[in-house]
Structure 1
Amino acid sequence: MEQLIQHLPKDRQAPRLWFKQLTIFSEPDTANIIREVSFRRGLNVVWAKEPAVGSAVGLHAAGHGVGKTSLCLLLRYCLGDPSKAVTELRDELYSEFPRGGVIAVMNVEDRPFTLCRYFNPHREGFAIDGEGSDDVWAQEAESNDRDFLKRLASDMMSSVSPSKIPDTGQAIEWRHVLAWISRDQGSRFKSFFTWREGEGTGLQRGRQDPPIVMRAVLGLMDQSESLLMSRIATLEQNLSRASQRANELQREPALIRRRIESNLRVMGALPDDLPIQAEGLFDDSVEKRIKGASEEAAGRLAQWDLRQEKADQDLA
């Protein structure tokens, strides 16, 4: 492990991206804030307070259905996660709070930003440089939410190397990294590389590509290895094309034979059920009929040659 991490920078004191606060509101004003959740840098444990004995039954008695997963999905919404689970939650909240949304205070490369996103997918949110005041809606926005998320994705992916999956050439995108760092609660721990339940990660190969994405993000892929993987992929493609061409060439004689046989039947006005070659000595076949027609034509040509010769002698 020391060999793998010895090249990583040792002067980093904070993660490149972390949340400080998430605010949920039903109307864009301070009087309609539903909930504020604060976070700290590092590990945050989201847990449900156990209800008093006898006050809840079923799943609620075990701390389920209180919003832990929804909170995580809202954080993913603030990172631009386009997954189905996030979209479904946003649509459900939009039906309840048509003018509502979330405000996230996050640190990106040690710089604070405040992002507001509405549940209405057609309404434009905004982003503010720094930690916004209590009434963020009254502040002048630096950019809209979509442009901010594009810059966020670009900044987060700037140091990823290689930028493409060497084997397939597929670009490694922010949504692929999001699938890893914010894996679906529904996928649980079926596999270390199973990050999304049902809808997939967006990678072309569900098994081979996730480990490559992780290594590229962590800087654990040497350039020579990446070039070698690309070379192997190219050779495999060439081998596949060569095998396909070999199969075509192997089929070609049979195709040519069938084409010749078809032309012979058409030229001789022969039925399709007449065999090409006779099995018995007296059996009829295309070969016999073509041979007979050829001999007949040769005989007629010889007769015309004799007539021509006699006519030439008479003229002389």
Structure 2
Amino acid sequence: MRVQPELFEPMPLSVTLPPGGEEPALWVRRLTIWKEPGQPVRSIELRPGLNFIWSPDPADMGNQSEAGELGHGAGKTLFCRLLRYCLGEDRFAPEDQRLSIGTAFLNGWVSAEVVLKGSPWAVLRPLGVGRGHFAVQGVMPEQLFERLNEPTGMAPLIDAIEQQVITKKVTALMPVDQLHDAWRVALAWLTRDQECRFDHVLDWRAAESNSESPTRSMSRGRLQDAMRALIAAISPDEMQLQAEANAQGEELKTRQNEAAHWQWSCEHLRTDVLRSLELPPTAVPEGRLGLEALRHAARQKLAQAAKTDDSVDVSNLEALRQRAREAAKVVTDLEQQLAVANSNLPLHKSLLKNLQAELPATSVEVRDAEVPACQICEVPIDRALAEGCKLSHKLPDLDKLRQRYKVLQKQIKEKSAEVDATQVNINSTRQQLPAARTTSDTLQQAVKKAERLSDSRSTAWSQGKKNLDDIQRLERDWASWELAQEKVAKLQEQIDKKRESLAAFRDQQVEVFSGLSIYFNAIIRAAVGPTASGKVTLDGNGMKLAVQLGGERSTAAIESLKVIAFDLAVMCMSMQGTTRLPAFLLHDSPREADLGLSVYHRLFDVVNGLEGTLTSAFQYIVTTTTQPPPAFQQTPWLREVLRGAPPQERLLRCDLP
């Protein structure tokens, strides 16, 4: 693809420093790790300009014979975290690593000499827990060990940074909630986490770093507003308008969810009513026009439910149930009466038979009593009396025997009558039962039929009433849906107007982004080649970084290059004095795996070109495993060499437990 020739050759990277801007507004002169007070483990001196902390990879150096020696695990990332810890971040490592370091360094400290607007500050912070933090102006860190009972906290340094560098005006613009979060947000940008891999211009802190940075809970929109505030590319009016637009955007989501809920409710309720009325969806117009048609159909169905069967009297269902219960009781009583009679008849017959069996013997006893005989000699009493008998003089009681005989006859007569009456009762009951059962069955059938008809009519009536109630509820839900749609439309209109106003505000900041694009483009061209170009734009969708190289490129390496070039471009603007950031930058292992080594090295040539003769207006610290360009593998650029093995070559000079 042919490249369109440019009328004017782009200007090379050059920064015009403001008066008095020959030194960074904030830079770190020295970082020291202490095993305990008075016993430094490692002290790393830094300078304004380009600084390398290098952990060589043996393979890159052509040496693969050292067993266990690695370019990783030497402490580069821990160095970065300790440095930003000394600049005000709350944590210097994930929890497990902090515990290990705290165990190995029970009385350990980390200190930094920070230069702010030309004035030195001493920072001393513990590596363990339970001790105070110190930030004091005009002294050396070693002097702070003499006043360990007088902790100041980090507030003095952070207050000074926010007043002298960020400024109170910009601090007030920052979209943060807590005191000192304005600087901590800026610090997160200036010292990106290695875990973010330079994937996005607004990715500053990874959750796994456990840094407690306020940026971890900030949305991309708030991070972008913070970035624009720090580069003087947003005004208080735009900030307020953006906050209102963001709030309305959240409300719009709520209203859209509400409208979707009412829409779902209306559609499902309408479907249920159509199914209940047995109507196809096409039989009723859509929307509010169909509500009256649904109501008319529901009233017709309700009228049909009010009709009854002429052959069944359901006017007094309870009276019919009472008659059926009475008829069933008659059948029950007759069945019980028959069962009792059938069980009593054999008993009565048995008793009658026994009585009848006693009657002949009793009759003989009466006859014998009328002509009594001696019980011993069996001689008639009359003869014995006439002739005389010396053996017996006792005679039977004739009256008593006659009385007993009469009673027995009476009992036989009564029991015989009782047997006859029981038999008559059995016969009569047997004759009544069929008719009683028929009457009961007829009434039971009538009750069941009447109940079925009543239930059917009641169900149909209830369903008809429910249909009318559902249609009334559908009408209310439809009104709520329309109201929610109106609110959504009104909010959308208000947001669109605010977006137009925000676009106008962004147009007013075109000069800032134009200057940023000039630096960004110059860095891209210097690093990639004269056929490449870069541009930074801001629109309603956010900030966009573009690299043109035979068309717009967007690979993993190009994305990381964009982020690095953007940070360097902002650093150039900070050197120029047009941002509210110090010209300070810390990049932890910025080279992605597929970023060309030549491009990576040319980036440092670009930065080196910004250095002054005696001092530099910026401080750029890079930790790297990839070897720096040969020219920078020496002082003053190479500040420290760390190795993964042996332990004495690591940052902390020991193995952690």
Name the CA distance, whole Å, in 1 between partners of 2:108 and 2:96: 15
- CA-to-partner distance for each residue in 1:16-54, whole Å, 9 max, x for gaps? 32100011111111xx21111000013211112566835
Is 1:180 the counterpart of 2:189? The answer is: yes
Provide the C-alpha distance between the structure 1 equivalents of 2:172 and 2:155, rounded to a whole number of angstroms. Answer: 25
Instruction: Return closer, same or farther for 1:219/1:127 CA change in 2, 3 Å cut-off.
Output: same
Q: Secondary structure, in 3 states, of the residue corresponding to 1:123?
A: coil
**Larger deviation: 74-83 or 180-189?**
74-83
Question: Which amino acid in the other structure matches residue 224 of structure 2?
Answer: P
Q: What's the counterpart of residue 231 of structure 2?
A: 218
Q: How far apart are 1:234 and its partner, in Å?
A: 4.3
1:42 aligns with 2:215: no
Q: 1:204 aligns with which of 202, 213, 218?
A: 218
Mapped partners of 1:278, 1:190: distance in 2: 67
Separation in 1, partners of 2:152, 2:95 = 19
Displacement after TM superposition at 1:84 (Å): 7.1
Partner residue, 1:97: 105
Matches of 1:89 and 1:242 in 2, distance apart?
46
> Is the 8 Å Cα contact of residues 77 and 86 (structure 1) preserved in structure 2?
no
SS in 2 for 1:208: helix
Contact 1:115 1:145 in 2 (8 A): no
Q: How does 1:45-64 map to 2 (within 5 A)?
A: 45-49=52-56, 53-54=63-64, 56-57=66-67, 60-61=69-70, 63-64=71-72
Return the structure number with greater helix share. Answer: 2
Q: Say which one has the larger Rg.
A: 2
TM alignment of 1:20-39, pairs within 5 A: 20-29=29-38, 32-39=39-46
Structure 2 residues without counterparts, runs of 5 or longer: 1-10, 210-214, 270-297, 308-455, 465-657
Structure 2 Cα separation of the partners of residues 151 and 161 of structure 1? 10
Partner-residue secondary structure (3-state), 2:110: strand
Q: Deviations over 1:79-135 (max 9, x none)?
A: 231357365544322110100111111112221011111112211133332241755
The residue aligned with 1:19 is 28
Q: Which runs of 5+ in 1 are unaligned?
A: 256-274, 292-316
1:278–1:285 contact (8 Å) kept in structure 2: no
Q: Is the 8 A contact 1:187 1:196 kept in 2?
A: yes
TM-score (norm 1): 0.65
- Corresponding residue for residue 259 of structure 1: none
User: Cα offset for 1:150?
Assistant: 4.8
CA distance in 1, matches of 2:27, 2:222: 26
Distance 1:107 1:87 in 2: 30
Tell me the SS of whatever aligns to 1:232. Answer: helix
Kept after mapping to 2: 8 A contact 1:76/1:86 = no
After superposition, where does 1:40-189 map in structure 2 within 5 Å?
40-49=47-56, 53-54=63-64, 56-57=66-67, 60-61=69-70, 63-83=71-91, 85=93, 88-132=96-140, 136-138=144-146, 144-152=152-160, 154-155=162-163, 157-159=166-168, 160=170, 163-165=173-175, 173-189=182-198
Q: Are the structure 2 counterparts of residues 237 and 73 from structure 1 closer, same or farther at C-alpha, using a change threshold of 3 Å?
A: closer
Given the superposition, is the C-alpha separation of residues 123 and 229 from structure 1 closer, same or farther in structure 2, using an over 3 Å criterion?
same
Task: Specify whether residues 286 and 216 from structure 1 end up closer, same or farther in structure 2 by C-alpha distance, changes over 3 A only.
Answer: same
SS in structure 2 opposite 1:64? coil
- The 1-side partners of 2:186 and 2:153 are apart by 20
The answer as to whether partners of 2:132 and 2:148 remain within 8 angstroms in 1 is no
- Confirm or deny that 1:284 pairs with 2:457: yes
Aligned pairs for 1:295-306 within 5 A? none
Task: Determine if contact 1:74/1:86 at 8 Å carries over to the other structure.
Answer: no
Bigger relative contact order, structure 1 or 2 (CA pairs below 8 A, ≥6 apart): 2
Q: TM-score, normalised on structure 2? A: 0.34
Q: CA contact under 8 A between 1:102 and 1:118: conserved in structure 2?
A: yes
Contact 1:114 1:127 in 2 (8 A): yes
Q: What SS does the aligned partner of 1:137 have?
A: helix
Deviates more, 1:94-103 or 1:143-152: 143-152
Tell me the secondary structure at the aligned position of residue 186 of structure 1: helix
